[in-house]
Amino acid sequence: MGIVNVTPDSFSDGGRFLDPDVAIAHARSLRAQGADLLDVGGESTRPGAERVAPRVEQQRVLPVVQALASEGLVVSIDTMNASTARAAVAAGARLVNDVSGGLADPDMLDAVAESDADIALGHWRGPSAEMYAHAEYGDVVGEVRAELEERVAAAEAAGIPRSRIVVDPGIGFGKRGVQNWQTLRGLPRLADLGCRVLVGTSRKRFLAETIGVDADLARRDLATAVTSVLAARAGAWAVRVHDVPTTRDALAVARAWEA
């Protein structure tokens, strides 16, 4: 899954792709580099980020989603707003990637249920403005699994079959340093939920803390590729990355090693 941030303030590439034409060109490049799915988002979820009005979010993302879908590319919409999800699916998005797991907007699950789109439910304990306020766990893997199971049950109750549900452990969301590593180590337990698993570690703070807080993007991308390979081995269905070639290369090497 290639990341297309149509935002002015994302933590890694904020502002670079805010212009729709530039975002579309970037998405095409990611596809050419090997991304199977293009994840378009118009609201930053970096730590401390403030919410964006759905109207503004839609102005940013809908031209990009529509253009990419019209070219036959597989697009997901990264949003916590039901109205944006509806509009993006109408524009051609095939997956709604909600990092809040449907908790930020009570209409989200119904909105997806009314469509034929899939939904990715992220593990979430509150908005980005208070990202780490609830980062307290006794058994982080057990609690993440239980809370995701609740979101899957809610999605099914809304009418979304499990075959259309993806779960995301929310790496970096309401989790500090070692809690992220513990969650990644527990990925096989999350795969036992019977849903596809999406993992996003790309360029996140816990990687920089591990390899050195002054780590540049190239070093973070290499660390991302390593975690992506390990996630794939643990049963992940997809990995969400900024830098597609490095992760594709790492996955190719891992496949050759295993073969």
Burial degree of 99 (CB within 10 A; 0-12, 13-18, 19+): buried
d(CA 253, CA 157): 41
DSSP string, 185-217: HTHHHHHTTSSEEEE--TT-HHHHHHH-TT--H
204 as an active site residue: the answer is yes
Whether the predicted model's global pTM rises above the 0.85 cut: yes
B/e letters for 39-56, b = 16+ CB within 10 Å, e = fewer, are bbbbbbbbeebeebebee
- Name the active-site residue from 204, 205, 219, 248: 204
Question: Per this entry, what is the length of the chain?
Answer: 259
Distance of CA 106 to the CA centre of its chain: 20
**CATH number listed for the domain at residues 2-258:** 3.20.20.20
240 as an active site residue: the answer is yes
Contacts of 150 (CB under 8 A, 6+ apart): none
Q: Which pair of tokens denotes residue 213?
A: 């807080």
Residue by residue, pLDDT tens for the chain (259 residues) are: 999 999 875 556 556 777 899 999 999 999 999 999 999 999 987 776 677 899 999 999 999 999 999 999 999 999 999 999 999 999 999 999 999 999 999 999 999 999 999 999 999 998 767 777 788 999 999 999 999 999 999 999 999 999 999 999 999 999 999 999 999 999 999 999 999 999 999 999 999 999 987 778 899 999 999 999 999 999 999 999 999 999 999 999 999 999 9
d(CA 161, CA 158): 9
